[in-house]
Structure 1
Amino acid sequence: MATQYGISGSTAKAIAASVERGVAEGALAPGTALPPVRRLADELGVSPGTVATAYKDLRGRGIVVTRGRGGTVVAPAPAVASRRPPRVPAGLRDLAGGHPDPGLLPTLVPRSVLSAGARSHRSTPRLARLEEAVRDWLRPDGVPVEHVTFAHGALDLIGRLLSVELRPGDAVAMEDPGYHHLLDLVTALGLRSVPVAVDDEGLRPDALRRALRAGVRAVVCSPRAQNPLGGCFSTERRDALTQVLGEAPDVLVVENDHASAVADVPLRTLTSGGLTRWVHVRTVSKFLGADLRWSAAACDATTLARHDGRLLLTSGWVSHLLQETVYGLMKDDDTRALVSHARETYGQRRTALLRELEARGLRAHGASGMNVWVPVTDESAVVNGLRSYGWWVAAGARFRLASEPGVRISVAELEPADAARLASDFAAVLGESEATYGG
C-alpha cells in the first residue's frame, strides 16, 4: 500500500530528506511502503534515476529496507527514531526499564570547582589522577591498561569508534538478543548487524565464527551482565572466543562491561588474550547514576589514536568538572560501600526471581546482571497478561535480530518478597493461554 505522506523534492538529496523527515515525525511508520520508483518520479517530475538514488541513500543509512517484490518500506527500527520503550501505563509496577534502584545510588556529590583559567583543555583532556584511578580499577581484572581514554558514556564511545573504523554498509557482529540501543546505533551509522547467538555464557563460539566468515569488521559484546539474557563469560568460553577471534586479527573487538562494579560475577575479559584490535569499555551509570555521562576505556594504541583523534574534532574533551565528580565518588569510602551493597542486593533479587520461576516450572535466564529473560511464544500475550496483574515487563522484540521471542524482567527494584507473587502471576498468565509460552 502506498503511503499517504506527501514526499517532496526535486533532487535525490531533497527527496531523501523528505522521507527522513516523515519518518522522524512519525508520519511514515515502520513498515510503511514507499511509492514505486517510477510512480514517485512521475509525481515529482524527476527522473527515475533521481528517486532510485534517494532510495539508495536511505537504505545505506538504515532508514528504509527493500523487500523484493514487497518494494521499499520504512525499516522496522529506522535510524532516525530509535526503538524507544512504550510508556508505562499508570498504576503498574515497572519491571521493564532496566534502570538501577535509586535507593542504591549515592547521593554524595563532592564539591568541585572549574579548572583554573579559560584556556582550552584539548592539550590535557584527561585528569591524570582519574586516569590512574581507572588503571587501578581495570588492572585487577586482567585488562591491559597502558592506553586509556574517556568518553560521554559507552554509546558515545562505541558510536565514535565504529564511525571511524567502518564505512556505511560494513557488517558488525552483534549479540542476539542484545542491547536495543546498540542495535539501533549500528543501524543509525548505516552499518549492518550480523546476529550472533548468545547463551548463559555469552557469545557462542560457533555463531561468532560464522559471523567472522561472513566478513564482519567489528564485534560488540558484553563479558558479563549481558543485556537482556544475563550471560557471563566462563573461563572456558572466554578462551574459546579468544581462539576464534585469533582467526581474524584485523577485526575490532568492543567489550562493553556496562555493569562492572555491580555485576556479581568476576570479569573474564577477552582483552587479556593478545588481541590485535580491541577496546574494553566501562560506564558508571548503573552504580553512580545515569546523569554521570562518563565512561572509561582501555584499548590498543591504534584504537586510542583513532578515537581521540575524532574526539578532538568534536567535543574535544570530557568536562573536567564531570571528571572531578567521578573521581571524588570513586574515591569516597561511603560510595564504595554503597556500590558493594548494591552488587550483593541485585544478585539476591535476580536469584530470588529465578528460583521462584523455576519452582513453577518456568525456564528463564539470568546468570548475572539486573535482568531476567524468559522465553515465550507470544510476547504480546505475556506482556498484556502480566499487565492485568499489575506488572509491566519488556517485550523482547526490540532486543532481537533473529533469536526466539522472550520477555525481559528488570529486577533492580524487585524485592525478593515480591518475586514469588510475580512468578505466580507469570505462571497464571501462561496457564490462561498455554500457547503464549515457548518453553
Structure 2
Amino acid sequence: MATQYAISGTTAKGIAASVEQGVADGVLGPGFTLPPVRRLADDLGVSPGTVATAYKELRRRGIVVTRGRAGTVVAARPAVASRRPPKVPAGLRDLAGGHPAPELLPHLVPPTRLSPGARSHRSTPRVAHLEEAVRDWLAPDGVPTGHVTFAHGALDLIGRLLSVELRPGDAVAMEDPGYHHVLDLVTALGLRTVPVAVDDAGLRPDALRVALRAGVRAVVCSPRAQNPYGGFFTAERRDALVEVLREAPEVLVVENDHASAVAGVPLHTLTSGGPARWVHVRTVSKFLGTDLRWAAAACDGTTLARHDGRLLLTSGWVSHLLQETVYALLADGSTRALTTRARDVYALRRTALMNELSARGIEARGVSGMNLWVPVRDESAVVNGLRTHGWWVAAGARFRIASTPGVRISVADLEPADAARLASDFAAVLGEAEATYGG
C-alpha cells in the first residue's frame, strides 16, 4: 500500500531518491499525494527547505507534479516506473499491441558482406548507397532531402533532439490523444506536455495556435496513421497548419511518419511549407520488421548538426550491418510488393471493422494506419467487458492528456471475417455498461 511507504533521507538528494525508488517500485502510484513539506521535514528531522529542494528536483524530472492546494502528487506518467503494456492474458486475442501482421513482413536476412574488423565508422557514419536510397524514398513525397541522417528508431531521434534543443521545464506541443511512448519520453526528459486536439485530419489548427501562444518550444506530430486516432493531414489541413506555424518560426517541428509505406494514404508534409526548424523521421518497423531499430530523417542544417553532434558523442553511428540489411530490403522488388500488399490488407481490415461498428451505431475513428480509436464512457468497463468475450484491447488512458476516454483497437491482425464478431461483442459490452451506469 502506498500509505505504508516511508520516505527517507536527510538531504534533498536522498529524499528525492527515496521518492523515486518508491515510484519505480510501483509502491507510490500515479496520483499518490506526497506529504506536505513541513510535515515531511518534521518526520525526517530536516529543514523545510531541504524537502522543498527535493520536491523541486522531482518536479523538474517529471516524477511529480504540483496541483496547488491539492499538494504534490506522483505524475500520471512518472519518468521512472515501468510503462510497459499489461501482459496479454492467456487465451485472449491481442488487439492492443499495435504490431504489424507477421505474415506481411519479409524474412530478415543479414548482409553477406560484413564490416571488416574493429574500426570506427564515425568518419563515415552513413552507408552512402542507403543515404541515396533514403533521398529517393523521401523526395517524391515533397520532403526536402538536402540534409539526411539516421538514428536507432524514431524515439531515439526524437529523444536526442529534444534533449539537445530544450531544457527541463520547457513545453512541447503533443497530439491528444497521442502515441504513449512519445508522451512518456517527453515527461522523462523533464519537459511539459501541452495537449493539441486531433481529428480525422490530424492536429487541429486552432488548438495548435493556442499551444504556440502558450510558449511551446517544439511540436511533435504524425502526418498520417496518427496513433491512436488514425488521422492524416489533408492538403488543406497541411496548409492551415503551416500558416499557424509561421507565427512561431523558432519552434522545432518534429514530424513522425512512423507508418509511411503502409499508412494507406498520401503524405502531405509540413516540411514542404518551409518551416525554419524541422525534422521528418521515418522508420521501417511497421513494414520491414519490428526488430529493425533504424530510422531515416531529413531535416534543416542546424538540426542535422545538433543531432549528429550528440550522436557522435554517444553511440557514434548506426550499425552498418543494420544499414546494409535495411538497404537490401528497400531495394528488393519482392519486399516492395509485399509492402504494397500489407498496405492494402491493413486498409481492408481497418475499413471492415469500422463498417461493422458503424452498422451497430458505434462511432470509431481511423482513416489511416493500423488502429481504430473508439470513444467510450468507461474505458475499464469496455476493456474488461471485451476480455470476457476473448478480446484484449488497449485502454485509452495511456494515450490521453486531456481528451475524452476511448479504447484503441489494433486491426493489423484482425481478419474481416472476425470484424463482425468483435463489433457484436463490443455492442453487447456497451449495452451492459449502459444498463449498469444508466446510459
Note whether the superposition's TM-score is higher than 0.5. Answer: yes
What does 1:193-272 correspond to in 2, within 5 Å?
193-272=193-272
- 2:368 counterpart residue number: 368
Question: In structure 2, the residue corresponding to 1:3 is in which secondary structure?
Answer: helix
Q: Are residues 1:298 and 2:298 paired?
A: yes
Within 5 A, what are the aligned runs for 1:410-425? Answer: 410-425=410-425
Cα offset, 1:87, TM superposition: 1.5
CA distance in 1, matches of 2:383, 2:2: 32
Say which SS state the counterpart of residue 433 (structure 1) adopts: helix
Higher deviation after alignment, 37-46 or 274-283: 37-46
Q: State the AA in 1 paired with 2:186.
A: V
- Does structure 2 retain, via aligned residues, the 8 Å contact 1:379–1:436? no
**CA gap 1:23/1:112 in 2 versus in 1, 3 angstroms:** farther
CA distance in 1, matches of 2:437, 2:170: 36
Distance 1:81 1:262 in 2: 33
Q: Counterpart in 2 of 1:307?
A: 307
Q: Is 1:54 the counterpart of 2:54 in the alignment?
A: yes
Determine if contact 1:382/1:436 at 8 Å carries over to the other structure.
no
How many Å separate the matches in 1 of 2:118 and 2:391?
52
Q: Over residues 213-254 of structure 1, what are the superposed CA-to-partner deviations in whole Å (9 max), with x where a residue is unaligned?
A: 110010000000000000001110000000100111000000
Give how far 1:33 is off. Answer: 1.9
Partner of 1:79: 79
The share of aligned pairs that are identical, in percent, is 83
Correspondence for 1:162:
162
1:69 corresponding residue in structure 2: 69
Which one is further off, 4-13 or 246-255? 4-13
State the match for 1:185 in structure 2. Answer: 185
Match of 2:431 in 1: 431
Q: Please give the alpha-carbon distance, in whole angstroms, between the structure 2 residues aligned to 1:47 and 1:330.
A: 61
SS at match of 1:297: strand
SS in 1 for 2:3: coil
The separation in 2 between residues aligned to 1:386 and 1:438, in whole angstroms, is: 19
- Segments of structure 2 that go 5 or more residues without pairing to the other structure are none
Within 5 A, what are the aligned runs for 1:1-400? 3-400=3-400
- Superposition deviation, residue 158 in structure 1: 0.1
C-alpha contact (below 8 Å) 1:178/1:228 kept by paired residues: yes
* Amino acid across the alignment from 1:309: G
Do the aligned partners of residues 42 and 330 (structure 1) sit closer, same or farther apart at CA in structure 2, a change above 3 Å counting? Answer: same
The more displaced of 163-172 and 37-46 is 37-46
Residue correspondences, number: 439
On the 8 A contact 2:95/2:392 being kept in 1, the answer is yes
- Deviation track 1:65-86 (CA, whole Å, cap 9, x = no partner) reads 1222222121111111253322
1:358-385 per-position Cα deviation (integer Å, ceiling 9, x unaligned): 1111111010000011111111111111
Residue 2 of structure 1 contacts residue 34 of structure 1 at CA under 8 Å; is this kept in 2? no
| 8 Å contact from structure 2 (residues 250, 277) kept in 1 | yes
Match of 2:149, SS state, is: strand
Residues 175 and 197 of structure 1 are in contact (CA less than 8 Å); yes or no, is this contact kept in structure 2?
yes
Deviation at 1:35, TM superposition (A): 1.9
Return the alpha-carbon distance in structure 1 between the equivalents of residues 62 and 416 of structure 2: 42
User: How far, CA to CA, are the matches of 2:118 and 2:387 in structure 1?
Assistant: 54
SS at match of 2:311: helix
> 1:414 Cα deviation (Å)?
0.2
Secondary structure of 2:185 counterpart:
helix
1:193 is paired with a residue whose SS is: strand
Assess if the C-alpha contact under 8 Å between 2:2 and 2:27 holds in 1. Answer: no
Q: Which amino acid aligns with 1:247?
A: E
Summarize the Cα distance change of 1:250–1:361 in structure 2 as closer, same or farther, 3 Å threshold.
same
The answer to whether residue 375 in structure 2 is matched with residue 403 in structure 1 is: no
Would you say the 8 A contact 1:95–1:393 is kept in 2?
yes
Return closer, same or farther for 1:52/1:177 CA change in 2, 3 Å cut-off: same
CA contact (8 A) 1:112 1:324 kept: no
Amino acid across the alignment from 1:133 = A
1:108 and 1:97 map into 2 onto residues whose CA distance is 21
Q: Tell me the distance in 2 between the aligned counterparts of 1:125 and 1:2.
A: 48
Instruction: Report the CA distance between 1:6 and its aligned residue.
Output: 2.3
Letter aligned with residue 239 of structure 2:
D
Q: State the SS of the aligned residue for 1:155.
A: helix
Q: 1:294 to 1:437 in 2, by over 3 A?
A: farther
Contact 1:195 1:402 in 2 (8 A): yes
Q: C-alpha distance in 2, partners of 1:182/1:364?
A: 23
User: Which deviates more from structure 2 when the two are superposed, residues 74-83 or residues 274-283?
Assistant: 74-83
The Cα RMSD (Å) is 1.6
Q: Deviations over 1:2-57 (max 9, x none)?
A: 83222222221121112111111222222222222122222222211011001000
Give the structure-1-normalised TM-score.
0.97
How far has the Cα of 1:116 moved from its partner?
Answer: 2.3
Once residues 438 and 323 of structure 1 are traced to their aligned partners in structure 2, the CA distance between those partners, rounded to angstroms, is: 56
Residues in 1 aligned to 2:199 and 2:259: alpha-carbon distance in whole angstroms: 18
1:163-185, Cα deviation, whole Å (9 max, x unpaired): 00001000000000000000011
Q: Contact 2:254–2:280 at 8 Å: present in 1 too?
A: yes
Runs of 4+ in 1 over 4 A off after TM superposition: 435-439
Rounded to whole Å, the distance in 2 between the matches of 1:345 and 1:26 is: 40
Equivalent residue letter for 1:302: T
Q: Are the equivalent residues in 2 in contact too, given 1:82–1:181 (CA < 8 A)? A: no
SS in 1 for 2:4: coil
